[in-house]
Structure 1
Amino acid sequence: MTAAARSGGGARWEIAEGLTAYPDAIARMEQTIAAIRADTGPELVWFVEHPPLYTAGSSARPEDLEDATRFPTFAAGRGGQWTYHGPGQRVAYVMLDLHQPHGTVGARDIRAYVHGLEEWLILTLDRFNIKGERRAGRVGIWVVDRAAGTEAKIGAIGVRVTRWVTWHGISLNLEPMLDHFAGIVPCGIREYGVTSLHAQGIVVSMAELDAALAASWSQVFGAPLVRG
């Protein structure tokens, strides 16, 4: 019996209280994916906020860390480059068994999985009348800034897949301190800035954002999330 079947057909959904230390998040993900591989634990979508920090993906360039003293830095072990995490940003760590299909995502299809994460963010933003878009050659989800008319990044994606079990995931900017991104070149892209829902005039709570993420999940990944 698969982990998905044990959880009633859908991944378990948990929201961490307070700010989660990054090493604790890594440890929790490692434990969870080990249980999924062993068929002893359910798939998990884990919502957290972190204290201010920078993480380096497998493609991160040292020169893109422009202020190494500002916040703690961590090697993330995921794909991608430099990313900022901090209060006011929703991070969702997604731990699924890709041996099985999940809605629009076929089994053992990493490209479709990443596309599914992108679509999840786009559908969530649409619930707040924000048009999130993909851009060729630029990782993440982008919007046209309502004030400046320029493009800015509102959501980031960085994944790792171990023996067909996923970990790491996405981040979506609700109301982080946008100047905190200045210590890095986010995802190695200098030409464009970052933004948030609040910066776009969408003043909603983290609970409202969480509800939108949860409601959009099944449109992409099939079975609804099961609140843990």
Structure 2
Amino acid sequence: MFAVERLGKVPYMETWDKQKELVKQIDQGLIPNQLLLLEHPHTITMGRGSHVENLLFSKEQYEQQGIRVVEIDRGGDVTYHGPGQLVGYPIFFLGEGNYDAHSYLRSLEEVLIRTLKHWGIEAGRKEPYTGAWVGDVKIAAIGVKFNRGRTRRGYITSHGFALNVNTDLRYFNMIIPCGIQEYGVTSMEKLLGQKVDLNEVMDQVVKSFQDVFGWDLVKN
């Protein structure tokens, strides 16, 4: 089972703190698995595998343009979050589905691929990278952390995915996204030629999570 919380537009640090608290509560068996769906204001995050050369400006220069730079504990390199991008944070106890790290990442990709198919967008995978791709351009990034349970044996996930829905793609020109220079990024808006209802995308994401993970949705 999992519960969904739609948070609107939330500062990055606020949701990072919320994720840590939810991990503790799930570890203690106090709440079911959680899926947070939201947007962030302009933020650049640097995962554990980040290389500073993938930042094309100094942190001060980013901040002068209203972009916060945050070093975080997920896997992966540098990426951008901002308005019009749907960010999903699944806080899942993997013991319930017998998932390992590899199968969990592939399942997240499958959720995104199925979601995009609803709009006729044929997304897929691109070895050796993670995420969802449309040809040679990335439409969704994935970066996660596996938190070792203290009360329950197994891992609890945090962080997650960022799907470009109506994202202003010009902000990606200010970094080397995920350290990948040879391929670009795209969005649903760019591919479809029109803006997409973010609430409808969230509805499809939730349905895809139910289909891929086989879990029931907790009704609020």
TM over 0.5: yes
- Which secondary structure does the structure 2 equivalent of 1:36 belong to? helix
What residue number does 1:73 align with? 69
Correspondent of 2:172 among 168, 178, 181: 181
Q: Give the distance between the partners of 2:214 and 2:124, measured in 1 at CA.
A: 22
CA displacement 1:29-73 (0-9 Å, x = unmatched) = 000000011111221000010000100011100000112322211
What residue number does 1:26 align with? 16
Correspondent of 2:106 among 107, 115, 122: 115
2:207 is aligned with 1:211: no
Correspondent of 2:88 among 89, 92, 97: 92
More helix by share: 2
What residue number does 1:16 align with? 7
What residue number does 2:35 align with? 45
The letter of the residue matching 1:37 is: D
- Which secondary structure does the structure 2 equivalent of 1:80 belong to? coil
TM-score w.r.t. the length of structure 1 is 0.88
Q: Give the distance between the partners of 1:219 and 1:39, measured in 2 at CA.
A: 24
CA contact (8 A) 1:175 1:198 kept: yes
TM-score w.r.t. the length of structure 2 is 0.91
CA contact (8 A) 2:166 2:196 kept: no
CA contact (8 A) 2:86 2:165 kept: yes
- Which secondary structure does the structure 2 equivalent of 1:66 belong to? coil
CA displacement 1:100-142 (0-9 Å, x = unmatched) = 21xxxxx151111011000000000111110111011222111
CA RMSD of aligned residues (A): 1.2
Which consecutive unaligned segments of at least 5 residues does structure 1 have? 1-9, 102-106, 145-150
What is the aligned length? 207
Correspondent of 1:155 among 140, 156, 174: 140
CA contact (8 A) 2:84 2:168 kept: yes
Q: Give the distance between the partners of 2:216 and 2:78, measured in 1 at CA.
A: 31
Question: Percent identical across equivalent pairs?
Answer: 34
- Which secondary structure does the structure 2 equivalent of 1:211 belong to? helix
Structure 1 stretches of at least 4 aligned residues deviating more than 6 Å after TM superposition: none
CA 210–108 in structure 1, closer or farther in 2 if over 3 Å, else same = closer
